[in-house]
Amino acid sequence: MYRASDPAFSDMLLAAYNEGGKNGGYSGNAPLVFAALAEDDLRPVKLSELPSRRLEGFGAVFRDHFGTDDEFYLLLKQGPGGYRYHRTEGSIILFAGSRPLIYDGGEAGDTWRHTTLSFHDAEMPLSAGHVERFHSLPGLGFVQGVHPLAIKPGDPIYLNDICHHTLVPVAHRRFAEPNPVDVRSILVVRDEYVVMHDDLRLSQEVSCRWHLQAVSDAHSGDGKSGYRFKGRFGVDLQVLFPGQTFCEEKVEHLPIHDYKPAPEPQPENNGGFSFKEDHRNVLRPADECFSTRHLMVRAEKPDHYLAILRPLTASRKPAEAKALTQAGRTIGAAITGEGIDDLVFVNREAFAFVTAAVRFEGRYGAVLRRAGSVQLFLLAGTVLEAEGFRITSGGPTVRMEVLASTVEITAEGSGRIEIRGFAAPVLLELSGNRITISLGRR
């Protein structure tokens, strides 16, 4: 159908069909589709790459090492689009080393079955949000979005639960909410670790719980020292909560609610058909279900949740994380470990962080130190200074990698950038485009 008009899209759809087991799923029109296809429409296709990208109306996806045995994949649900109504808003799915580490908690429709936040004693979900910022840069992926409110018990979860034209202005008001309940941001540092940050504005009487569904059969640790979930497929997951104290936490072994098709109709002697069981789909027994470990933590009147998620292969050691605070608020984390010495800045409002080695002014940024290089990321801010360089941005996002003799610069967006630290200041002007340049260090 798309072969002539959009061959690349056609190849992507066909590759997804082949990689997914060549199964039409529950599509009732599968016979009609196959009757309209020619032999060339089903030729083998191998995709060379699927990129990290913003998924308009749904959220974002981050990929690395695509098509290898070491593939990394993170999917964020942050938008009104998606499949059915399972209260998944704000949740993620995570694969590392081609192994599932965080997965969807099943079709029971409960908020707590997903890696997201829940509110009130009734475990209500976030309202549908939208992505405000997305960047996929060498060495780091970043997405930040907003969720305007926490749904109250009794209120419709989705505006299309009640199909009425009076809800259209409600949707517009939610989209433009100036003080959203949650600003959820995610930073992906290669496949080394993921930072999840929820910057909350909640009424004092509203309880809020943080949930994670780990593909694991065993765990150790606690909220203070961090958790380690033993992966079912050879890759463990470390979960750290730097600088946070919880009044409630638990881990439970959770069979995912799954359904099996109804039994096949059995012929009767009179030529008709009958069912020996209920003709509807039925719930699988627990011993036939995929299972996860459900982690729940709750802080008393929280203004944020900050989690560091680190995939642990057999050769990778756990990391440590310390909260960065200012005037009683958490503004990021210092993350250290084998070959890691990083600063990550996250806050819904602009702030200034100043030490002898680093100066940052803005909302989101990072300094990643590795053997032989230092990477500076000004994701949403005006100033980032380190390693003898000073980046000043009038709008664009900037990534700068400082090597022994060269400096690699990637920038995207609109506005002016000034970089000092070279023999002469470097001035760049962007107009909604992306540039990559390499300069001698001096």
- CB 52 within 8 Å of CB 136: yes
Confidence bin at 211 (pLDDT 50/70/90): very high
Segment 218-223 mean pLDDT = 96
pLDDT exceeds cutoff 60 at 391: yes
Segment 169-194 mean pLDDT = 93
Q: What is the tens place of the pLDDT at every residue in 294-338? A: 999 999 999 999 999 999 998 999 999 999 999 999 999 999 999
With vertex at residue 329, the alpha carbon angle to CA 323 and CA 333, rounded to the nearest 5 degrees, is: 20
- CB 353 within 8 Å of CB 360: yes
Looking up tokens 């529950």 gives: 26
Among 181-190, 243-252, 275-284, whose mean pLDDT is lowest? 275-284
Looking at the chain, the whole-number percentage of residues with pLDDT higher than 90 is 68
Smallest CA-to-CA distance from 417 within 403, 399, 405, 402 is with 399
pTM: 0.89
Segment 271-283 mean pLDDT = 51
Confidence bin at 440 (pLDDT 50/70/90): very high
Looking at the chain, the whole-number percentage of residues with pLDDT higher than 70 is 84
Supply the pLDDT for residue 272: 53
Smallest CA-to-CA distance from 116 within 103, 125, 107 is with 125
Supply the pLDDT for residue 222: 97
Smallest CA-to-CA distance from 202 within 301, 126, 348, 120 is with 301
Supply the pLDDT for residue 226: 98
Sorted by where each begins, the domain ranges of the chain are 1-48, 51-257+286-316, 319-442
- CB 76 within 8 Å of CB 215: no
Supply the pLDDT for residue 277: 46
> What's the rounded Cα separation, in Å, for the pair 231 and 212?
14
Supply the pLDDT for residue 436: 96
Supply the pLDDT for residue 179: 95
> What's the rounded Cα separation, in Å, for the pair 247 and 134?
34
Residues 6 or more apart from 198 whose CB is under 8 A from it? 117, 182, 183, 184, 210, 304, 305, 306
> What's the rounded Cα separation, in Å, for the pair 76 and 61?
6
Supply the pLDDT for residue 235: 96
Supply the pLDDT for residue 155: 82
Supply the pLDDT for residue 273: 47
| Average pLDDT for the chain | 88
User: How many other CB atoms are there within 10 angstroms of residue 325's CB atom?
Assistant: 12
> What's the rounded Cα separation, in Å, for the pair 384 and 359?
6
Say if residue 359 is exposed, middle or buried (CB neighbours under 10 Å; 0-12, 13-18, 19+): middle
Segment 78-88 mean pLDDT = 77
Confidence bin at 353 (pLDDT 50/70/90): very high
Interstrand relation of 182-189 and 193-200 (parallel, antiparallel or unpaired) = antiparallel
Residues 6 or more apart from 308 whose CB is under 8 A from it? 193, 194, 195, 238, 239, 240, 241, 242, 319, 321, 333, 335
Supply the pLDDT for residue 278: 46
Residues 6 or more apart from 194 whose CB is under 8 A from it? 74, 94, 186, 187, 188, 308, 309, 310
Supply the pLDDT for residue 47: 75
Q: What is the tens place of the pLDDT at every residue in 1-28? A: 677 788 888 888 878 777 776 665 555 5
pLDDT exceeds cutoff 60 at 239: yes
Supply the pLDDT for residue 291: 75
pLDDT exceeds cutoff 80 at 36: no
Supply the pLDDT for residue 29: 60
> What's the rounded Cα separation, in Å, for the pair 227 and 120?
25
- CB 390 within 8 Å of CB 361: no
Segment 193-204 mean pLDDT = 96
Smallest CA-to-CA distance from 88 within 102, 97, 78 is with 78
Supply the pLDDT for residue 289: 63
CATH class of 51-257+286-316: mainly beta
